[in-house]
């Protein structure tokens, strides 16, 4: 079965600084990987996904993530954080054969942005 | 499309009362998911439907919880009787096998007093 680990519960960065949120997954075959963002009082919004192909994927709001099979990682990055990026971020993994029907979510990383 | 629509957005009820949460998935999506989110347990999958049929309900906490999907455009999650420990945010999501992305509703915040 799949599993996801987000080792950082809470991260604080200064506005304008770079950001990297870590995600490690466990799955023996080809994973489907997702990053979602949840703003306070809102549902989860998809930032980006990886199914196959180029291991560096671009998403919305200036985010990108890199799939590294050798490290079982799918870390999320942004070169310059904006105050509006403060939110909770969830990494999720699925399987190719089930698509989005069986996602395993990490416990989330809360991002605080200071002026 | 308006996205996944959940109602109500907030529900406050007293212990022992029946609670019904509603979800309208994105038109054309054939899979629907109910999640519960709490501080202690994070995001938990309760049940998911494929083509209106429940496929996996192993996450449903106990018999007090039930979910139905009478047609492709509507689903309910019912708690009867409700208990204070059911207080959480309940999310509905939908997807299809072509796009393979789950789209989430805004959630229902349930408070059981």
Longest dimension (CA), chain B: 42
Please give, rounded to a whole number of angstroms, the shortest distance from the CA of A90 to a CA of chain B.
10
Which residue carries 């439907």 as its tokens?
B49
Average pLDDT on A110-114 reads: 97
Closest residue by Cα to residue A29 from A72, A66, A58, A65: A72
Percent of chain B's residues with pLDDT above 90: 86
The verdict on B107 touching A (C-beta cutoff 8 Å) is yes
Span A38-49, pLDDT tens digits? 998 899 999 999
pLDDT, position A108: 95
Interface mutation vs chain A, best among B10, B97, B102, B105, most A CBs within 10 Å: B102
The predicted pLDDT at position B1 comes to 65
Cα B45 from Cα A74, distance rounded (Å):
22
- Could you tell me what percent of chain A has a pLDDT over 90? 79
| CA B60 remoteness from chain centre | 10
The 10s digit of each residue's pLDDT in B2-27 is 899 999 999 999 999 999 999 999 99
B95 at interface of A, judged by CB pairs closer than 8 A: yes
* Contact criterion met (CB below 8 Å) for B111 and B11: yes
Collect all residues of chain B within an 8 Å Cβ-Cβ radius of residue A103. Answer: 45, 102
CA nearest to B40 within chain A: A107
């Amino acid at each position: 079965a799949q599993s996801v680990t987000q080792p950082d519960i809470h991260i604080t960065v200064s506005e304008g600084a770079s950001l990297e949120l870590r995600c490690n997954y466990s799955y023996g075959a080809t994973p489907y990987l997702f990053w979602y963002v949840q703003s306070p009082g809102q549902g989860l919004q998809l930032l980006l996904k990886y199914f196959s192909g180029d291991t560096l994927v671009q998403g919305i709001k200036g985010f990108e993530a890199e799939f590294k099979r050798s490290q079982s990682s799918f870390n999320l990055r942004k070169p310059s954080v904006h105050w509006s990026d403060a939110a909770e971020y969830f990494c999720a993994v699925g399987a190719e054969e089930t698509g989005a029907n069986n996602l395993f979510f990490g416990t989330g990383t809360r991002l605080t942005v200071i002026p | 499309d308006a996205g996944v629509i959940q109602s109500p957005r907030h529900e406050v009820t007293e212990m022992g009362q029946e609670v019904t949460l509603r979800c309208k998935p994105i038109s054309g999506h054939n899979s629907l998911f109910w999640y519960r989110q709490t501080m202690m347990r994070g995001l938990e999958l309760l049940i998911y439907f494929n083509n209106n049929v429940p496929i996996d309900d192993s996450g449903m906490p106990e018999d007090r919880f039930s979910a139905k999907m009478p047609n492709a455009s509507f689903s309910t999650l019912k708690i009867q009787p409700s208990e204070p420990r059911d207080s959480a945010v309940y999310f509905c999501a939908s997807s299809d096998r072509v796009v393979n992305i789950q789209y989430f509703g805004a959630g229902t915040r349930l408070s059981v007093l």
